[in-house]
Amino acid sequence: MKIHEYQAREMLDRYGVPVPPAHLATGADEAAAAFERLAADGATLAVVKAQVHAGGRGKGGGVKLVRSADEAREAAQKMLGQPLVTPQTGPEGVPVEKVLVAAGVDIQKEYYVGMAIDRGQGRPVVIASAEGGVEIEQVARERPEAVIRMPIDPEAGLRPHQARFIAFRLGFAGKQVSAAGRILSRLCALFLENDASLAEINPLVVTTADDENPDGRVVAIDAKINFDDNALFRREAFAAMADLQEQQGGEARAEEHGLSYIKLDGDIGCLVNGAGLAMATMDLIKLHGREPANFLDVGGSATEEAVTEAFKIILEDPAVRGVLVNIFGGIARCDTIANAIVNAAREVGFTVPLVVRLEGTNVEAARGILEKAGDGIPTMQIGRDLTDAARKITSAIA
Ligand code: GDP
Ligand code: MN
């Protein structure tokens, strides 16, 4: 699960990481008012930031420095209600419903600090680089030596000497060493205590020195936190932070119905039970020269309603040119799937070719249901086995 920058900043703040004050706005006047509030506390510079679940906003016009309430209003006006296209969103972009108006800082230098799970090592890892502000993946590719990776003990967390070591390696000096070390420790605690799968501050900045802070301050000005979906059952409070609107429409609806659905780039919609079978089905589609439009595992205990919803989600995707159903009935029963096919045909209609391969529990009953409904589903063909089904669907849309 992803959360927005403003929510991530609030979490960092709760964990004692210095973050400039900020106010959320859903309208242009509200953004202007937010600037006034920051100005009343002494800010002369602010940043208007589109709140979307995608990075690289700076490059797409989703981060704008402003110096007056009017500028803040204008920047918010331009962002709100418009799709924001960044290198991470795809060409259609994502709609901007909220902007954050944050007190701006004068930046002396930008750093990257983050935490993730290193699956190879089976441990959380601190990732840090003195080359912040840009995408860490790019730094890692082009100059791997510029990225520090330190695996940590999930029980002990980041030990003080490890935090200091990283801070030194990043080139922090003087008072900044302990400031940066503390931020790393707090980030690590936040990551471990909340089942995060990613927690990054990019950039962490040293501000330009002034009379009050001759060494500059070390503050987080952007944050991204993702949580492990498999741990959400014990993080009930986090559900309130989910932005269902922002999750792709179909994915959010699938989640509500207990289906695992992931949209992909191809044109053959798949409805399968079991993650392993779903993967194998996708492989077979590729083997026959096409690409799957989605991964969809209806699971073992899916109801007829949930499977009907699954068909609707698949059929609403304009990229889908054909649908392949591959069910090995075990706990999931073939007749449930057959009924869902009939429902979906009635409620939405299969205007694209449909190939169905069913085996296992209640398969005879399922065949009966489909035969009876056959005339109402003229684009339907039955696959004898998985290979036959893959051939039929790929040649039906060739
Ligand atoms: P992202 O592009 O989505 O990662 O958004 P960020 O919040 O990281 O902002 C992108 C870039 O805008 C940062 O790397 C900074 O260079 C710049 N930026 C953001 N906030 C400030 C600020 O308060 N002051 C200054 N001078 N630059 C900022
Ligand atoms: Mn950033």
According to the 3-state scheme, what is the secondary structure of 346-380? HHCCCCCCEEEEEEECCHHHHHHHHHHHHHHCCCE
Q: Can you give the pLDDT at residue 244?
A: 66
Ligand nearest to the CA of 206: 1
Which listed residue (112, 131, 261, 309) is catalytic? 112
Q: Can you give the pLDDT at residue 390?
A: 95
Of all protein residues, whose CA lies closest to atom 13 belonging to ligand 1? 133
Q: How many CB atoms are located within 10 Å of the residue 82 CB?
A: 14
Whole-number CA gyration radius for the chain: 26
User: Considering only CA atoms, which of 270, 280, 307 is closest in space to residue 394?
Assistant: 270
Q: Based on the domain organization, do 35 and 16 belong to the same domain? A: no
Which listed residue (6, 200, 261, 309) is catalytic? 200
Q: Can you give the pLDDT at residue 318?
A: 85
Distance (angstroms) between ligand 2 centre and the Cα of 204 equals 9
- Type of residue numbered 346: R
- Type of residue numbered 280: A
Q: Based on the domain organization, do 2 and 91 belong to the same domain? A: no
Task: Establish whether residue 221 lines the binding site of ligand 1, counting it when its CB lies within 6 angstroms of any ligand atom.
Answer: yes
Q: Based on the domain organization, do 276 and 294 belong to the same domain? A: yes
Q: Based on the domain organization, do 208 and 320 belong to the same domain? A: no
**Is the separation of the CB atoms in 140 and 119 below 8 Å?**
no
* Those residues with Cβ within 8 angstroms of residue 93's Cβ, 6 or more apart along the chain or in another chain: 60, 82, 83, 84, 85, 86
**Is the separation of the CB atoms in 281 and 308 below 8 Å?**
no
305 catalytic, yes or no? no
* Those residues with Cβ within 8 angstroms of residue 48's Cβ, 6 or more apart along the chain or in another chain: 31, 63, 64, 66, 72, 75, 76, 79, 99, 100, 101
200 catalytic, yes or no? yes
Task: Establish whether residue 63 lines the binding site of ligand 1, counting it when its CB lies within 6 angstroms of any ligand atom.
Answer: yes
Task: Establish whether residue 57 lines the binding site of ligand 1, counting it when its CB lies within 6 angstroms of any ligand atom.
Answer: yes
Q: Can you give the pLDDT at residue 192?
A: 97
The pLDDT tens digits of the residues spanning 45-84 come to 999 999 999 889 999 999 999 999 999 999 999 999 999 9
What CATH number did the domain enclosing 194 receive?
3.30.470.20
Task: Establish whether residue 21 lines the binding site of ligand 1, counting it when its CB lies within 6 angstroms of any ligand atom.
Answer: no
Q: Based on the domain organization, do 1 and 128 belong to the same domain? A: yes
Q: Based on the domain organization, do 25 and 147 belong to the same domain? A: no
Q: Considering its fold, how many domains does the chain have in total?
A: 3
Residues of the chain with pLDDT below 50 are: none
Domain residues for the domain of 16 are 1-20+106-246
Q: Can you give the pLDDT at residue 71?
A: 98
Domain boundary among 70, 104, 138: 104
Relative to the CA of 102, which ligand 1 atom is closest?
A: 23
Task: Establish whether residue 217 lines the binding site of ligand 1, counting it when its CB lies within 6 angstroms of any ligand atom.
Answer: no
Ligand nearest to the CA of 53: 1
Q: Based on the domain organization, do 195 and 315 belong to the same domain? A: no
Separation between Cα atoms, residue 130 and residue 372, nearest integer Å: 67
Displacement of CA 364 from its chain's centroid (Å) = 41
Domain boundary among 104, 131, 166: 104
Separation between Cα atoms, residue 85 and residue 62, nearest integer Å: 9
Q: Based on the domain organization, do 83 and 207 belong to the same domain? A: no
* Those residues with Cβ within 8 angstroms of residue 15's Cβ, 6 or more apart along the chain or in another chain: 186, 187, 189, 190
Distances (CA, A) of 397 to 13, 208, 233, 310, 352: 54, 61, 41, 21, 8
Separation between Cα atoms, residue 178 and residue 391, nearest integer Å: 63
Distance (angstroms) between ligand 1 centre and the Cα of 245 equals 25
Q: Can you give the pLDDT at residue 133?
A: 83
Q: Based on the domain organization, do 333 and 323 belong to the same domain? A: yes
Of all protein residues, whose CA lies closest to atom 3 belonging to ligand 1? 57
Separation between Cα atoms, residue 329 and residue 277, nearest integer Å: 11
What CATH number did the domain enclosing 291 receive?
3.40.50.261
* Those residues with Cβ within 8 angstroms of residue 384's Cβ, 6 or more apart along the chain or in another chain: 357
What CATH number did the domain enclosing 47 receive?
3.30.1490.20
Q: Based on the domain organization, do 277 and 380 belong to the same domain? A: yes
Q: Based on the domain organization, do 60 and 142 belong to the same domain? A: no
Q: Can you give the pLDDT at residue 74?
A: 98
Q: Based on the domain organization, do 171 and 142 belong to the same domain? A: yes
Domain boundary among 213, 246, 279: 246
Relative to the CA of 134, which ligand 1 atom is closest?
A: 14
